[in-house]
Chain A
Amino acid sequence: MAASISPSADLSAALVHALPTAAAWLVILPVAWCLAIGALLVMLRRPIGLHPTITIIGLAGLVLIDGLLLREVAENGPLTMVMGRWLPPFGIAFTADLAGALFAFTAALVALVAGVFSLADVNDSGRRYGFYPLLMLLMAGVSGAFLTGDVFNLYVWFEVLLISSFGLLVLGSEPEQIDGTVKYGFLNLVATTLFLIATGYLYAVLGTLNMADIAKKAEGLRNSAPLVTLAGLFMLAFAMKAAAFPVNFWLPASYHTPRVVVSALFGGLLTKVGVYALVRVMVMLFPVEREELSFVLAVAGALTMIVGVLGALAQTDFRRILGYLIVSGIGSMLAGIAVGGPGGIGGAIFYALHSMLVMTGLYFASGIAMRLGASSSIASLAGLYRRHAGFTALTLMLCFAVSGLPPFSGFWPKVMLVKAALDIGAWWLAAALLLAGFLTTIVTGRLFLLAFWREGTHAAGEAVSLSPATLGPLAVLTGLTLLIGLYPEPLLALIQNAAAGLAEPSAYVNSVFPGGGP
């Protein structure tokens, strides 16, 4: 009997034997790289002068890695690597498909410009409290969430990015920040716990957590298992992470309190992780259930758009306006997921990528405006145009982009979403999209008129110059927005392939189970 559990037990059928190719390492490298740099920064606790340099080199490296990964995935299809050589579905798989790689690359780009912006925004006390290590760990969580191929592992990365975001949010320890963090912390913890509940049920029903395996097994269980309930649970959890109405109230309560660069990172990245998870689960794992739930999702999306932008209309604080605009944008992405099809899913992904760039840029603009005008209220900000014309021009472009006006990046996803909604006869959803766009134009137009165009009454006057570390990140993001708006074809082709790969995940499944699987 003892022989059966001796080391000679034959495990050959359970293990991967071929060494992973050099390309396969790219799947895990973004996470490993961020964790390593984060650990290095924690060890270099004393020489805080080194932190910004190491972080910016680290984030530039992350952009490079994600860029290589994106190229590899675009050329050769999804890439998989399993942990500990255990064959999937037993080993935890990291799988990058086009959607994941696109999100990861854009996130890395946003983090890099935020790293540069932080040079002028995070002071020594912020550095001492660990802004840079937390930033790298946040990126580890975000990259892991975009690249993992396992639902429980996705939960773990959510928690990694959540705990880092708590640290970043409360960095200054001012009463305002503590107030915001209390609401953000409790509600987000409830959201991830809902996600964990759904994951527990998922394993109880399907007996697997590997995404490719779920996509395969769900097919045979449609008639006997409560998959719609399961998809509904995931939908609630991810909608709460993405700040969809009516579970969005944590976002406007907290996103205007931390340092500007932290607001910018959160506004760009965190809600989009929720949207990405929603797309992954609803479109790839439970497509039939998504159809069943699409009406709920569409109504939630329409309400999110309108409630978000009405909230923005009622605010005077620059950053609180932006918080509500993020919520409004999330509504458009939900509408795309609800409509489905290549136009809907592609539109949702495109909108998410556009929103990552534009919302980060607008938060940078709010920070610069606060520095120039010594106020964050549009009631007292005035005459910024006279103080720096270039900054004003960049902000105006971002205002156009977020409103979905051509020739900026917000225009194309909006066109795709409106067309997709009209194609399936959901005219009310198309109307909500257009109405939200119109109201957003009013919000940003008023913002621009009051804060930039209006003649300053006091302390206005002489022009100032801004350092490259301040204006550069804003210019890069605006430039990207303009570039995507003027020449969307390459990105659009990638996004359409990504949407097709989610709707028909055979390439994804083949990459996880090369031999056809168990």
Chain B
Amino acid sequence: MEAWFALLVGIFFSVAVYLMLSKFIIRVLLGVAVLGNAVNLLIFTGGRLTRGVPPVIPEGAGALAAPAANALPQALILTAIVISFSFFAFLLVLSWRAYNELATDNTDEMRVAEPVNEPVPPLGY
């Protein structure tokens, strides 16, 4: 089970990296969304995958009878989902504003802050 999930996480990461290498901001945005999910799946898999095993120690016993999925990574994911979703929302609005204000979604052409042919600094008085 974990091996299949590891493979899935790998696919997610490669898709995310491929998308983020694009010049176009919408693809980068989609890449960021996939990247967030890749990380969440990674942490989820790292916390052990079991089905229908409650992580509760029975009375009288000192440890779990069988390995159960760790609940803590799932709590971490919950936090990470909220954070990555809110960042995604912010970046989506930002990209929309950038498209409206700069009239392009190509990052190569976004050169307002760093103009292309800037003069060199003066060499003397």
Contact = CB atoms under 8 A, between A and B. Distances in A.
Contact of A182 (B43, B72, B94, B118): B94
Interface centre among A190, A196, A253, A455 (most CB of B within 10 A): A196
Given A1-B59, A197-B39, A203-B76, A182 B114 contact: no
Given A170-B94, A178-B102, A379 B113 contact: no
Contact of A190 (B35, B79, B94): B35
A360 B84 CA distance: 30
B95 A182 contact: yes
Interface string B99-122: 001100001001111100011111
Nearest to A1: B59
Contacts of A185: 90-91, 94
Interface in A166-212: 166, 170, 173, 175-183, 185-186, 189-190, 193, 196-197, 199-201, 203-204
Given A197-B39, A200-B46, A204-B46, A190 B91 contact: no
A181 B101 CA distance: 13
A80 to B, nearest CB: 20
A152 interface: yes
A57 to B, nearest CB: 30
Interface string A431-450: 00000000000000010011
Contacts of B25: 182
Given A156-B83, A193-B39, A256-B113, 15 more contacts: A4-B59, A163-B90, A166-B90, A166-B94, A176-B112, A178-B98, A180-B113, A182-B95, A183-B113, A196-B43, A201-B46, A204-B43, A204-B73, A253-B114, A378-B122
A197 B120 contact: no
Chain B's interface: helix, strand, loop or mixed, by majority?
Answer: helix
B36 A193 contact: yes
Chain A's interface: helix, strand, loop or mixed, by majority?
Answer: helix
Contacts of A159: 83, 87
Interface residues of B, number: 43
B49 interface: no
B23 interface: no
A510 interface: no
25 contacts: A3-B59, A4-B58, A162-B87, A163-B87, A166-B94, A170-B94, A173-B101, A176-B112, A178-B101, A179-B98, A179-B111, A179-B113, A181-B94, A182-B25, A183-B107, A193-B35, A193-B39, A197-B39, A200-B76, A203-B43, A257-B113, A313-B121, A316-B120, A446-B121, A450-B121
Nearest to B46: A204
A190 B20 contact: yes
B90 A179 contact: no
Contact of B97 (A4, A162, A173): A173
B47 A204 contact: yes
A254 interface: yes
Nearest to A3: B59
Interface in B33-70: 35-36, 39, 42-43, 46-47, 56, 58-59
B110 to A, nearest CB: 5
**Nearest 4 pairs of A and B residues by beta carbon:** A204-B46, A200-B43, A4-B59, A179-B113
